[in-house]
Chains A and B, each alone.
Chain A
Amino acid sequence: MGKDKTAKKKNLLRSGLSVNIIGAIVILLVLFGVISSAIGLVSFTNAFKREYSTTTYHMADTAATLVKGDHLSEYVDGAYAYEYQQTRAYLDAYCKKIRVSLIYVIQVDRSDYGRFVSVFNLVDNTVDDTEYTAWEPGYKRDTTNDEYRQKYKAIYEQSSEYETVYRIKTTDGQHPHITTMVPVKDSSDEVCAILCIQRPVRELYDARRPYLINIAISTVLLAVAVSVFAGFFIRKQFVLPVQQVSDEATRFARENTQGEPLGNISRFEVISNLAHSIDTLERDMCSYVDNLTAVTAEKERIGAELSLASTIQDNSVPNVFPAFPGRDDFDIYASMTPAREVGGDFYNFFLIDDDHLAIVIGDVSGKGIPAALFMMVTNILITDRTKMGGTPEQILDYVNENICAHNKADMFVTVWLGILQLSTGKLTAANAGHEYPVLRTGGGAYELVRDKHGFVVGGMETTRYKGYEMTLQPGSSLFLYTDGVPEASDKENRLFGVGRMLEVLNADPGASPEKVLSGMSAAIEEYAGGAEQFDDITMLCIEYKGSSEGKENA
């Protein structure tokens, strides 16, 4: 039902467009025909009138030579009767020969040209089916109107060779005609009378009718031809292609899928271009959308993977505190804040046995996923090797050799590794290019321990590490960190610095490890003032409280 309606609507629209275009063309053509035939008719009529009056003038001029002007007044009185009859016979013959309605010669009263006297008057009613009666010689009459008066005057004064009065549209029932008047002269070349010829103009109508009919027929034929042309050509090359483009655009807007290309659907360049544009638009839009979908999916996938990776990394180090709720001889706390989802920093701590706690902090060169992969490997190597026993330097030597063996990317990691004997407080440690640890001994202040430094792990396989020893008194705290702490920066890119770090630590030296870390985080955040941190920030703090046995002894 619905589809039917849409199809009907479409057909209506389609035929509507055709009818509009064809209708407009037909109207324009008819208008053109009317205007051009009107112009043609006017110039035809003018030319006809000019030509007609010229030939009539020649007739009148010839007739005037038949009339001898010397005795005109005498003719009226009956004198020179033979000459009069002879002239009249010539004129009568001439009148019938040239097929005009009237030939007459009049003498006009020259005082105001308001009256005239008829001299000759020849009638031929057969020419135009008229019913004129001839005026007798001497018949007097008033001039018909001012136009005649003007023209009589012009002839008498010889200001023109001849004059013509047109009566083409008559209202008084007279037959349409023209009257051409020429002067009749006497032997002294003076104008003594006017000869007039009245000639019907039926021929003008007879000529105009076929002209008008021809124009009308050719206009109709042209209109029909153009309509047929429009019906086939315009419909095929214009209306249907436009409808096709419109349909395709509507379909694309609704379905957003690439359709069959429209191709070259019209001879009209504009429509063809439009169709090509629609094709290109569809292709580009679809590939853009596909691309966008793929990119978005890829981004989502990477995001999901990164989020999972972040969880895995967080859980690859001990992150539940208190970490050793059953032990009161030490308290340890650590935090790891990557600059991106995953980072290259790490820390670790675990009991090797009941009396030995291993503490590790490290920083892989670079950031993000490569650093995170490297960090995981390093952490596992260190942890496994440490659990097998040995000194920190032996452990780092082993880890370094193993990493160097497969390190194509020239990445490296700084590591500080310490093993604390919990019963005695003896700390053995080795530093592979890591930041100096900070130690607070007993009730004193936090101070930097400028310990022995080796080269970074993974840099050179020939590196051999040297360890060192120190003893932590009960109540001592050790603060370990990565370079993200001293190199945290504010909006002007000024570094937080080791000095400020020590100041923050010593502001409340007796704070618990958890408090130390939260205080440092807050201080860094305040210093940064909203500036984005580009490095991972990792901290670890252990407070050695002394062995329970020792305490009991004390």
Chain B
Amino acid sequence: MLNITKTAEGKKFCFALDGSLNTNTADEFEKQLREILPEAEELYIDLKDLTYISSAGLRVLLSAQKQMSRQGVMKVKNAGGFILETFEITGFTEILDLE
């Protein structure tokens, strides 16, 4: 349902998500994020191949954003279509650094 590709470069981490980030898959993504969050200074999340995001997925992004705001930068890349629409409706466009 969701393929997570993680790349690390020192304290810079990048996650590319492919598939659907919903209640069933959000836990796995959150687990992987928690492993690196304590030491991360730069976090990039690539949503090019993400087709769906539910509120559970949004919650994981919100958590990560809150922590990264305190210790570095977090950028969400290539959000488009349904995902961008969801960000707009829920107001996530206001708190996420989209590019």
Given A433-B89, A433-B90, A456-B90, the answer on whether A365 and B63 have CB atoms closer than 8 Å is: no
Q: Give 1 or 0 for each of A426-462: 1 = CB within 8 Å of chain B CB.
A: 0000001111100000000000000001111001100
Given A365-B56, A366-B56, the answer on whether A436 and B95 have CB atoms closer than 8 Å is: no
Cβ A412 vs Cβ B89 within 8 A:
no
B91 on interface, CB distance cutoff 8 Å:
yes
Given A433-B92, A456-B90, the answer on whether A410 and B55 have CB atoms closer than 8 Å is: no
B45 on interface, CB distance cutoff 8 Å:
no
Smallest CB gap from A368: residue in B: B23
Cβ B66 vs Cβ A414 within 8 A:
no
Given A454-B91, A456-B91, the answer on whether A365 and B22 have CB atoms closer than 8 Å is: no
How near does chain B come to A412, taking the closest CB pair, in angstroms? 6
How near does chain B come to A375, taking the closest CB pair, in angstroms? 12
Cβ A434 vs Cβ B22 within 8 A:
no
Cβ A455 vs Cβ B92 within 8 A:
yes
How near does chain A come to B30, taking the closest CB pair, in angstroms? 10
Cβ B23 vs Cβ A412 within 8 A:
no
A393 on interface, CB distance cutoff 8 Å:
no
* List of B residues within 8 angstroms of A483 by Cβ: 54-55
Q: How far is the CA of A364 from the CA of B54 in the complex (A)?
A: 11
Main secondary structure of the interface of A (DSSP, over half): loop
Cβ A433 vs Cβ B23 within 8 A:
no
Cβ A534 vs Cβ B22 within 8 A:
yes
Q: Give 1 or 0 for each of B56-71: 1 = CB within 8 Å of chain A CB.
A: 1011001100100000
Cβ B91 vs Cβ A534 within 8 A:
no
* List of A residues within 8 angstroms of B62 by Cβ: 410, 412, 456, 459
Cβ B59 vs Cβ A412 within 8 A:
yes
* List of B residues within 8 angstroms of A453 by Cβ: 88-91
How many interface residues does chain B have, given as a range?
Answer: 20 to 34
Q: How far is the CA of A410 from the CA of B63 in the complex (A)?
A: 6
* List of B residues within 8 angstroms of A364 by Cβ: 55
Cβ A535 vs Cβ B89 within 8 A:
no
Q: Interface size of A by Cβ–Cβ distance < 8 Å?
A: 28
* List of B residues within 8 angstroms of A363 by Cβ: 55
Q: How many A-B residue pairs have CB under 8 A?
A: 68
Cβ A455 vs Cβ B94 within 8 A:
yes
Interface positions, chain B 67-99, Cβ under 8 Å from A, are: 82, 88-92, 94-95
Q: How far is the CA of A434 from the CA of B89 in the complex (A)?
A: 6
Given A412-B59, A483-B55, A487-B54, the answer on whether A367 and B89 have CB atoms closer than 8 Å is: no
How near does chain B come to A255, taking the closest CB pair, in angstroms? 45
Q: How far is the CA of A455 from the CA of B95 in the complex (A)?
A: 8
How near does chain B come to A98, taking the closest CB pair, in angstroms? 113
* List of A residues within 8 angstroms of B91 by Cβ: 432-433, 453-456, 459, 463
How near does chain A come to B54, taking the closest CB pair, in angstroms? 7
Smallest CB gap from A434: residue in B: B89
* List of B residues within 8 angstroms of A365 by Cβ: 55-56, 58-59
Q: How far is the CA of A435 from the CA of B86 in the complex (A)?
A: 9
Q: How far is the CA of A432 from the CA of B89 in the complex (A)?
A: 9
A271 on interface, CB distance cutoff 8 Å:
no
Smallest CB gap from A339: residue in B: B23
Which residue, of B56, B82, B89, B92, has the highest number of chain A Cβ atoms within 10 A? B89
Which residue of the partner chain, among A367, A455, A459, A493, contacts B23 with CB atoms under 8 Å?
A367
Q: How far is the CA of A481 from the CA of B24 in the complex (A)?
A: 23
Cβ B59 vs Cβ A410 within 8 A:
yes
Which residue of the partner chain, among B24, B90, B94, contacts A414 with CB atoms under 8 Å?
B90
Q: How far is the CA of A459 from the CA of B59 in the complex (A)?
A: 9
Which residue of the partner chain, among B22, B56, B90, contacts A455 with CB atoms under 8 Å?
B90
Q: How far is the CA of A324 from the CA of B13 in the complex (A)?
A: 56
Q: How far is the CA of A454 from the CA of B54 in the complex (A)?
A: 18
* List of B residues within 8 angstroms of A434 by Cβ: 89-90
Interface positions, chain B 24-52, Cβ under 8 Å from A, are: 24, 52
Cβ B59 vs Cβ A366 within 8 A:
yes
A411 on interface, CB distance cutoff 8 Å:
yes
Q: How far is the CA of A535 from the CA of B24 in the complex (A)?
A: 11
Which residue, of B52, B55, B58, has the highest number of chain A Cβ atoms within 10 A? B55
Interface positions, chain A 25-46, Cβ under 8 Å from B, are: none
Which of B's residues lie within 8 Å of A, judged by CB? 20, 22-24, 52, 54-56, 58-59, 62-63, 66, 82, 88-92, 94-95
Pairs A–B under 8 Å by Cβ, sample size 27 = A364-B55, A365-B55, A365-B58, A365-B59, A366-B23, A366-B55, A367-B23, A367-B56, A412-B58, A412-B62, A414-B90, A433-B89, A433-B92, A434-B89, A453-B89, A453-B91, A455-B94, A456-B58, A456-B90, A456-B91, A459-B62, A459-B91, A463-B91, A483-B54, A487-B54, A495-B82, A534-B23
Q: A364-B55, A459-B91, A534-B22 are known contacts; what are 17 more A-B pairs with Cβ within 8 Å?
A: A344-B55, A365-B58, A365-B59, A366-B55, A367-B23, A410-B66, A412-B58, A412-B59, A414-B89, A432-B91, A433-B91, A433-B92, A435-B89, A455-B95, A456-B90, A459-B62, A487-B54
Which of A's residues lie within 8 Å of B, judged by CB? 344, 363-367, 410-412, 414, 432-436, 453-456, 459-460, 463, 483, 487, 493, 495, 534-535
> Across chains A and B, which 7 residue pairs bring their CB atoms closest together, nearest first?
A455-B91, A433-B90, A365-B55, A433-B91, A410-B63, A365-B59, A366-B56
